[in-house]
Amino acid sequence: MSLLDEHGNPYSTASSDALASWERAVAAHQTYNDDPFPVVDAALEADPDFVMGHCFHAAASLSGTDKPGLVEVRKRMERLSDLAPRANDRERGHIAAIAAWAGGDWKKAAACWGAVLEAFPRDAFALHMVHSLDFFLGDPRILRDRVARVLPHWDATVPGHGHVVGMHAFALEETGDYPRAEERGLYACEQDPRDAWAVHAVAHVYEMEGRLEDGVAWLDATWDHWIDGVFAVHNAWHKALLHIERGEHDVALEIYDNVLFRPDNDFVQELLDAASLLWRLDLAGTDTGERWLALAPCWRRRTGDGTYAFNDMHTMMAMVATGDELGQADLIKTLEAVAQGEGTNAMMTRRVGLPVCRGLQAFGRRRFDEVVRHIAPVRYNTHLFGGSHAQRDVIALTLVEAALATEDMTLARALAAERIALKPSSRTNRRFLARAGLAQ
């Protein structure tokens, strides 16, 4: 038995109720705002063998890049292996992608979802998952082109069209095409003002172009559309960055207290934003009070994880900021072991995660020459462990501070000059330039 969804994708189910719930789940997922899980579960209630429902849970747990989530992945994969013989080719493509990711080969997983999209370019769930994975893999050209390949199949008459344009907008921004990213992002938000990913794409443009007033005004104007949704923390983090750059550190701390931090938070993607914001405020010389002490336990539960190098860097920030030497040593030991292994995260750890974590550790010990020795050689490779340009800038900021603290200011001058050329309006960059003895 097979049914087709509104986008023409086939499902190995006889339950039209399951399919109707699934379509609502995909639509919710596309907004990066509504919680799709209750509707996915409604689909599984209507048909407990609904393959895409189990795929959703497995893939969402993997994209959480969190070790505890792997328990759920294993459970769903066992179920999917029973269901695979009666699944259709498209569904088997999803299962193959999940198996590759769970097996540690993230590129193969992206290729599997890419193959699903070549055959079914209106498979919004495949597009969403591969968009996340391409982001984690850190090559913005693939991020951009993967979306571009399906755009002709998502014209304005196709439900969800605006959300796909929003994804393209973000990818355009990451490749540095800011004018088109802004235009496409604004268009996507016109289609659905609650599209939190498209809002985010436009916020990135303003961040990268140093358009502080535009950025704050944009996030203030759209705030009510996303603040109660699943992407609230990250969009609020972007607003906090803009306030730091405006010198309004008190506003950034207010956003941290009101939106970013929850003591019981175990969602790593949100903990990243909290750690990154506090680290930046520390670098900027702001007193963050007891906040690290409250945040560190959320990370300490994850020390020794080694699931995703980008997360591990933020774990190290929390260990360094709280002076937890034992935690730092444990993490470095784990990362050294991970780096010896195979698979995508081992490569990320070897090439970026471990040297950056060693650099952060040295920063905490005020051994600034050592920071430079660890981080400077890898600074053009940091995209290899994913994240956005804006997120990874925390590494560059740390390196500049370290270079400024060394006796030899040669590197500091070079780094400050690079930064001012990229974002001339930035007050932070102007300050770096002045401190490096190159005042304009």
List contacts with Fe ion (CB under 5 A).
Answer: 388
Minimum CB separation from Fe ion for residue 238, in Å? Answer: 6
Report helix angle 196-208 to 389-405, nearest 10. 30
Backbone angles phi, psi at 11, to 5 degrees: -130, 140
Distance CA 297, CA 63 (A): 22
391-425 burial, b if ≥16 CB within 10 A, otherwise e?
Answer: bbbbbbbbbbbbbbbeeebebbbebbeebbeebee
Q: Six-digit token pair at 20?
A: 């109707």
Q: Which residues pair with 10 in a beta bridge?
A: 4
> Which residue lies nearer to Fe ion by CB, 76 or 225?
225
Q: Which of 289, 222, 297, 216 is nearest to 32 (CA)?
A: 222
Question: Could you give the angle at the alpha carbon of 105 between the alpha carbons of 102 and 106, nearest 5°?
Answer: 85
Supply the angle between the helices 140-150 and 161-174 in degrees, to the nearest 10. 150
C-beta of 113 vs 206, nearer to Fe ion: 206
- 201, 188 in Cβ contact below 8 A? yes
Residue linked to tokens 């196709």 = 158
Q: Shortest distance, CB of residue 20 to Fe ion, whole angstroms? A: 33
Q: Measured from the CB of residue 220, what is the shortest distance to Fe ion in angstroms? A: 17
β partners of residue 303 = none
**Cβ 226 to Fe ion shortest distance, Å:** 13
Chain residue whose CB lies nearest Fe ion: 388
One DSSP character per residue, 383-438 reads GGG---HHHHHHHHHHHHHHHHHSS--HHHHHHHHHHHHH-TT-HHHHHHHHHTT-
- Which residue type, as a one-letter code, is found at position 301? R
Q: Show the tokens assigned to 188.
A: 């996507």
Among residues 328 and 388, whose Cβ is nearest to Fe ion? 388
Minimal distance in Å, beta carbon 337 to Fe ion? 31
In whole angstroms, what is the distance from residue 368 CA to residue 373 CA? Answer: 9
Nearest-approach distance from CB 183 to Fe ion, in angstroms: 19
Nearer to Fe ion, 233 or 318 (CB): 233
| C-beta of 391 vs 429, nearer to Fe ion | 391
Task: Considering the complex, state which of residue 94 and residue 168 has its C-beta at the smaller distance from Fe ion.
Answer: 168
Cβ pair 289, 322 in contact under 8 A: no
Which CB sits closer to Fe ion, 65 or 388?
Answer: 388
Q: Which residue lies nearer to Fe ion by CB, 56 or 170?
A: 170
- Could you tell me the smallest distance in angstroms from the CB atom of residue 189 to Fe ion? 15
- The separation between CA 112 and the C-alpha centre of its own chain, rounded to angstroms, equals 21
Q: CB of 413: closest distance to Fe ion in angstroms?
A: 30
**Min. distance of Cβ 170 from Fe ion in angstroms?**
8
CB closer to Fe ion, 205 vs 318? 205
Q: Counting Cβ atoms within 10 Å, is residue 256 exposed (0-12), middle (13-18) or buried (19+)?
A: buried
